[in-house]
């Protein structure tokens, strides 16, 4: 057999084994045998580059680097779904649909909590995979999607010549936990939840890293409608036949339902059973099955009328409150954290939950050793949402908020109108000192290799450093005396400190830890003022004049440079030789998709408070505005947004984003 034929044969075999393993979950050869076949293929392909094909099974391991993802216009807009937490509203929707089209049947499916993707196939070959983006255009992440083993690179049996299939890329719990464990060991920040993790992974430049992370995909929407079959359920079956991983009836991931009762049964079943799934779902999607009825029902501006989603309330479990600890952040803010009897919740074991502040403790009416209900929002740390008073011990004591800093015993302060208590001892409280330095050395800031949080805390404790500038005076002799420090690790730390002198100005500015100056704002300021000296001299008016900088940020920046202790640290950093001006080539474009946008936030949201959203907007260099005009770029519409506002936005052609779409747009 010639090389070309052997390559083709190997590709065919590997393709089939891959399908059996990742889609059908029934492999017929061992991993070792599979690896041997793959190795043979890789060797042949490297000897015969003329036969290289991006859809070869060898592409599954990745290797391509995408510096900038190209923006691609969707052939069909990528709409979202109307959704509700109320079963009554689902019932009303069903009745409405049944009224408008005769003899309609429905399909119920899982609402996968992942990242939406549209994948195009031509002549049975995958040619492109695009994210939702803003619904009109998204990012071309084809190379990264090629590494997801359950996505076929070429199709089996018969297939339409040119079509698109859409679905959701999910990060299974197991893969998520393993990745976070690895990241923790490497001192990298953990992902808050599998969805964020999937979204972050798909935006990685190096596809071989994507290949390692164990993403999976479920596909649920074939376009153009009717290209395969006259109904949605038949299209899904036909897609399975082409090799796609689709929701299966036997797994109960999908069901044809003839009316209200069957739909409610499906919802009830998964409300209870979702805890046993290997990936997250956040609700149930109900669709009208036949395309003819779908067409009759049509679309609103944002979503189809032929489908809707019932969203589950966040999962909530009871457990015992063992104790409360109080954490001191780098700004001195005190955060009470509940230490809990470990409990399994949404795919992970939960041991701690945030209590936010003293108001929250009062609101919960928390007593020691209470049985509390814990819920997972979008953050890493879950929340305590309520107390089971019926189980409270009669002799239990009410929880009282601490009066003194747990670290330095200073009397805590609380500013008028603020929820948070603060330790005022900014200059001497150890976690505040180390917190500021930890921020300074962090990856997005100075990226000081060789040093982690524990080292910083130790150096602060030993009195060797009190602020970022002190790092530049550390000596080999001082470090080598510390317990557990060897010559190489000391040298690594000192090398890292030296190298940080080349870090561009915008990151130095971010590293200073000025309140509200995240990395995007730092970029905007650096680009505009070009040097620390000019920025330090700027008036509040001059700072506000910068596109995308609001008055809150401006006054923080202005105030920072007026404090003497900051001036002293800055002088020392200048003396150490840090980059205090933009270099000719270091003016990088701000890459946030909302930079300079004018955005209105309205309504109530699920993952963020309104203020948090506004904060995110400012941090991405966009502007919060309050009244709609033709200059408004986006409206982020939460629950309860007024219909008049929506109508006005629609008539002005302003893009309306749901919270979820906003999260996806920014890859949060």
For binding to ligand IVH (CB under 6 A), which residues are involved? 79-81, 109-112, 116, 168, 220-221, 285, 304, 307, 309, 660
Q: How far is the CB of 350 from ligand IVH (least distance, A)?
A: 25
Closest distance to ligand IVH from the beta carbon of 97 (Å)? 15
Q: By C-beta, is 109 or 134 nearer to ligand IVH? A: 109
- Name the minimum Å distance from CB 370 to ligand IVH: 35
φ, ψ of residue 243 in degrees (nearest 5): 115, 5
* Token pair 């082409």: residue: 242
Q: Which residue has the tokens 């890292």?
A: 496
Q: Is 138 exposed, middle or buried (0-12, 13-18, 19+ CB in 10 A)?
A: buried
Instruction: Examine residue 224 and say whether the peptide bond preceding it is cis (omega within 30 degrees of 0).
Output: yes
CB of 605 to ligand IVH, least distance (A): 14
Q: Judged by CB, which is closer to ligand IVH: 128, or 566?
A: 128
Q: Give the C-alpha separation, 516 to 554, whole Å.
A: 9
**Would you say 210 or 219 has its CB closer to ligand IVH?**
219
Q: Which residue, 57 or 247, has its beta carbon nearer to ligand IVH? A: 247
CB 299, CB 308: distance < 8 Å: no
Q: Which is nearer to ligand IVH, 304 or 496 (CB)?
A: 304
What is the distance between the alpha carbons of residues 206 and 204, in angstroms, rounded to a whole number? 6
Least separation, in Å, of the C-beta of 547 and ligand IVH?
32
What does 589-635 look like in DSSP terms, one character per residue? PP--TTTT-EEEEESB-SSS-HHHHHHHHHHTT-EE-SS--TT--EE
Cα dihedral 418, 422, 427, 430, rounded to 10, equals -140
Query: Which of 304, 453 has the CB closer to ligand IVH?
Result: 304
Among 474, 453, 475, which Cα is nearest to 465's?
474
Which of residues 116 and 636 has its CB atom nearest to ligand IVH in the complex?
A: 116
> Which residues, at least 6 apart from 286, have a Cβ–Cβ distance to it below 8 Å?
90, 93, 94, 106, 107, 108, 109, 257, 263, 307, 308, 309, 310
> What is the number of residues in the chain?
668
Do 636 and 610 form a contact (C-beta atoms < 8 A)?
A: no
Nearest residue (beta carbon) to ligand IVH: 116
Nearest approach, Cβ of residue 134 and ligand IVH (Å): 13
DSSP 8-state class, residue 19? I
DSSP calls for 296-337: HH-B-SSSBTTEEEEEPPPPEEEEEEEEEEEEE-TT-EEEEE
Of the pair 248, 458, the CB lying nearest ligand IVH is at: 248
Complex with ligand IVH: residue 173 or 183, whichever CB lies closer: 173
Burial 487-505 (b: 16+ CB within 10 A, else e): eebbeebbebbeebeebbb
In the complex, the smallest distance separating the C-beta of residue 646 from ligand IVH, rounded to whole angstroms, is 18
Please state the closest distance from residue 378 (CB atom) to ligand IVH, in A: 14
Count of Cβ atoms closer than 10 Å to residue 365 Cβ: 13
CA dist., res. 387 & res. 367, Å (int) = 9
**From 9, 47, 67, 111, active-site residue:** 111
Q: Nearer Cβ to ligand IVH, position 165 or 590?
A: 165
DSSP result, 338-406: EEEEEEEETTEEEEEEE--SHHHHHHHT-BTT-EEEEE--SSSS-EEEEE-GGG--TTPPBP---SB-T
CB 567, min distance to ligand IVH, A? 50
Whose Cβ is closer to ligand IVH: residue 265's or residue 547's?
A: 265
On whether the CB atoms of residues 626 and 647 are closer than 8 A, the answer is no
- Closest distance of CB 299 from ligand IVH, Å: 8
Q: Least separation, in Å, of the C-beta of 273 and ligand IVH?
A: 16
**Of the candidates 197, 73, 195, the residue with the CA atom closest to the CA atom of residue 134:** 73
* Spatial distance between the Cα atoms of 575 and 208, rounded to a whole number of angstroms: 42
Tokens read off for 215? 């993403």
302: annotated active-site residue: no
- Within 13 A of 464's CA, how many CA atoms are on the CB side? 18
Q: Do residues 241 and 157 touch, judged by C-beta distance below 8 A?
A: yes
- What is the CB-side half-sphere exposure of residue 510 using CA atoms within 13 A? 23
Which residues are part of the catalytic machinery? 111
């Amino acid at each position: 057999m010639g090389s070309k034929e052997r390559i083709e044969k190997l590709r065919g075999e590997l393709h089939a084994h891959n399908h059996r393993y990742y889609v059908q979950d029934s492999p017929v050869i061992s991993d070792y045998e599979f690896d041997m076949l793959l190795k043979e293929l890789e060797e042949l392909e490297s000897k015969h580059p003329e036969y290289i094909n991006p859809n070869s099974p060898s592409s599954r391991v990745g290797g391509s680097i995408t510096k900038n993802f190209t923006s691609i216009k969707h052939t069909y807009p990528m709409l979202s779904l109307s959704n509700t937490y109320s079963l009554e509203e689902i019932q009303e929707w069903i009745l409405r649909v049944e009224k408008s089209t005769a003899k309609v049947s429905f399909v119920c499916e899982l609402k996968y909590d992942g990242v939406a993707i549209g994948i195009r196939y031509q002549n049975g070959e995958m040619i492109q995979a695009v994210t939702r983006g803003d619904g009109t255009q998204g990012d071309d992440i084809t190379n990264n999607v090629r590494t997801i083993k359950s996505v076929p690179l070429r199709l089996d049996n018969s297939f339409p010549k040119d079509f698109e299939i859409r679905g959701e890329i999910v990060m299974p719990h197991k893969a998520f936990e393993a990745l976070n464990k690895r990241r923790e060991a490497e001192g990298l920040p953990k992902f808050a939840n599998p969805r964020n993790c999937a979204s972050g992974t798909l935006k990685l430049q190096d596809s071989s890293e994507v290949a390692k992370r164990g993403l999976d995909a479920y596909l649920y929407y074939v376009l153009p409608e009717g290209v395969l079959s006259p109904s949605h359920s038949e299209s899904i079956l036909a897609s399975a036949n082409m090799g796609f991983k689709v929701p299966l009836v036997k797994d109960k991931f999908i069901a044809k339902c003839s009316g209200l009762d069957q739909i409610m049964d499906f919802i009830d079943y998964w409300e209870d059973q979702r805890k046993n799934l290997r990936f997250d779902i956040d609700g149930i999607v109900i669709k009208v099955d036949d395309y003819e009825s779908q067409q009759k029902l049509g679309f609103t501006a944002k979503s189809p009328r032929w489908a809707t989603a019932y969203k589950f309330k966040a999962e909530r479990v009871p457990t015992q409150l063992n104790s409360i600890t109080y954490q001191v952040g780098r700004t001195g803010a005190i955060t009470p954290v509940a230490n809990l009897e470990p409990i399994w919740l949404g795919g992970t074991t939960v041991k701690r939950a945030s209590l936010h502040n003293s108001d929250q403790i009062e609101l919960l009416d928390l007593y020691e050793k209470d049985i509390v209900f814990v819920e997972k929002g979008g953050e890493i740390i879950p929340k305590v949402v309520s107390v089971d008073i019926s189980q409270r011990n009669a002799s239990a004591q009410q929880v009282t908020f601490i009066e003194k800093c747990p670290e330095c015993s200073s009397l805590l302060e609380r500013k008028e109108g603020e929820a948070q208590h603060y330790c005022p001892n900014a200059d001497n409280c150890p976690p505040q000192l180390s917190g500021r330095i930890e921020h300074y050395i962090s990856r997005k800031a100075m990226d000081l290799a060789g040093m982690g949080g524990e080292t910083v805390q130790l150096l602060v404790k030993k009195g060797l450093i009190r602020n970022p500038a002190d790092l530049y005076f550390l000596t080999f002799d001082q470090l080598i005396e510390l317990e557990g420090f060897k010559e190489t690790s000391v040298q690594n730390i000192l090398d890292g400190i030296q190298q940080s002198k080349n870090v561009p100005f915008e990151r130095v500015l971010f590293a200073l830890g000025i309140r509200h100056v995240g990395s995007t704002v730092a970029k905007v300021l650096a680009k505009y003022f070009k040097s620390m000296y000019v920025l330090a001299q700027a008036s509040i008016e001059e700072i506000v004049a910068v596109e995308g900088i609001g008055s809150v940020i401006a006054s923080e920046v202005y105030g920072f440079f007026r404090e003497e202790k900051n001036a002293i640290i800055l002088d020392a950093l200048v003396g150490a030789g840090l980059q205090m001006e933009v270099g000719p080539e270091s003016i990088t474009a701000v890459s946030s998709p909302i930079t300079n946008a004018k955005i209105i936030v309205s309504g109530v949201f699920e993952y963020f408070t309104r203020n948090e959203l506004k904060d995110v907007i400012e941090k991405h260099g966009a502007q919060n505005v309050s009244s709609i005009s033709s200059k408004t770029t986006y409206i982020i519409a939460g629950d309860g947004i007024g219909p008049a506002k929506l109508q006005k936005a629609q008539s002005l052609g302003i893009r309306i984003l749901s919270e979820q779409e906003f999260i996806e747009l920014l890859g949060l």
